């Protein structure tokens, strides 16, 4: 059963692939109107085409503060200022050991994984308060917020920061009826780890820590996102919902 999102207006970043794409499709299935955002123009067009004529998208480079402003401004124009949901799913992973990690890769990772969710959340919250909308923000974090990955220093740092960004914003905006939560996936089959999945030995090592013995599909994480974006968890805010097949149980 899909979460009831009928009539809700939702911005979904990273919507051209992976968890973002699955979230856009799942929210639309629940009745939401989707404003897809991604820097992959061709991939974005395919997803918008899958969603149908009631939905739209915008190609944007979320590294830039100006692009974040443009996304929210365009969504406001499209929906006459009514934004109910923001899903911050856009993220990158650069695998470089700490001692060799480049400043460029560090800055790029933080710009997309942390600064963009902050900028978008701040602008969406301002819109919600202005219009008296009791909305929801869902950030896509990671179990790497508490369990670091080897060679993932920037990614791990960004996801740890997302956890506290969620809690901080949730604390401030709760009086306005705005909820902010995080879903923390474990190993999910996305483009981020496509190279590892092509190597059976590497992929087996990746899955070794998951008691369920398998990876998640993006749709499984999208189901959690849809629930958190809906009105069902109406008293849940500042939470991190772990969806990792049991990885963090040991």
Domain ranges (residues) in the chain? 9-188+217-241
Query: What fold does the segment set 9-188+217-241 form as a domain?
Result: Rossmann fold (3.40.50)
Catalytic residue chosen out of the listed positions 155, 186, 227, 242: 155
Q: How many CB atoms lie within 10 A of CB 3?
A: 23
pTM: 0.95
**Residue-level pLDDT at 198:** 82
Q: Cα–Cα–Cα angle for 23, 154, 119, nearest 5°?
A: 55
Q: Give dist(CA 194, CA 178) in Å, integer.
A: 36
What string of DSSP letters covers 128-144?
Answer: HHHHT---EEEEE--GG
Q: Give dist(CA 54, CA 32) in Å, integer.
A: 10
User: In a structure prediction context, what are the per-residue pLDDT tens digits for the chain, which is 250 residues long?
Assistant: 457 999 999 999 999 999 999 999 999 999 999 999 999 999 999 999 999 888 999 999 999 999 999 999 999 999 999 999 999 999 999 999 999 999 999 999 999 999 999 999 999 999 999 999 999 999 999 999 998 888 899 999 999 999 999 999 999 999 999 999 999 999 898 887 778 788 888 778 878 889 998 999 999 999 999 999 999 999 999 999 999 999 999 8
| 155 classed as catalytic | yes
**Residue-level pLDDT at 2:** 57
**Residue-level pLDDT at 159:** 97
**Residue-level pLDDT at 1:** 46
**Residue-level pLDDT at 86:** 98
- In the chain the first and final C-alpha atoms are separated, in Å, by 31
> Phi and psi (nearest 5°) for 160?
-65, -40
Q: Give dist(CA 138, CA 236) in Å, integer.
A: 12
CA torsion 4-9-13-18 (nearest 10°) is 30
């Amino acid at each position: 059963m899909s979460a009831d999102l009928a009539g809700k207006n939702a911005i979904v970043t990273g919507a051209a692939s992976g968890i973002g794409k699955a979230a856009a499709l799942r929210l639309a299935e629940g009745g939401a109107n989707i404003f897809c955002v991604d820097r992959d123009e061709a991939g974005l067009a395919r997803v918008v085409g899958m969603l149908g004529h009631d939905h739209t998208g915008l190609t944007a480079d979320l590294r830039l503060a100006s692009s974040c402003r443009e996304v929210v401004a365009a969504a406001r124009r499209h929906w006459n200022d009514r934004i109910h949901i923001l899903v911050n799913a856009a993220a990158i992973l650069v695998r470089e050991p700490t001692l060799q990690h480049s400043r460029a890769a560090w800055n790029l990772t933080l710009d997309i994984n942390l600064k963009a969710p902050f900028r978008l959340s701040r602008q969406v919250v301002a819109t919600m308060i202005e219009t008296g909308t009791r909305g929801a923000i869902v950030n896509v974090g990671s179990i790497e917020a508490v369990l670091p990955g080897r060679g993932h220093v920037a990614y791990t740092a960004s996801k740890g920061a997302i956890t506290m960004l969620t809690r901080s914003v949730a604390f401030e905006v709760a009086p306005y009826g705005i909820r902010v939560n995080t879903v923390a996936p474990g190993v999910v089959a996305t483009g981020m780890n496509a190279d590892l999945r092509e190597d059976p030995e590497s992929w087996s090592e990746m899955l070794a820590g998951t008691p369920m013995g398998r990876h998640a599909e993006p749709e499984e994480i999208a189901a959690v996102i849809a629930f958190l974006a809906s009105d069902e968890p109406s008293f849940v805010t500042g939470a991190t919902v772990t969806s990792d097949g049991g990885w963090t149980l040991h």
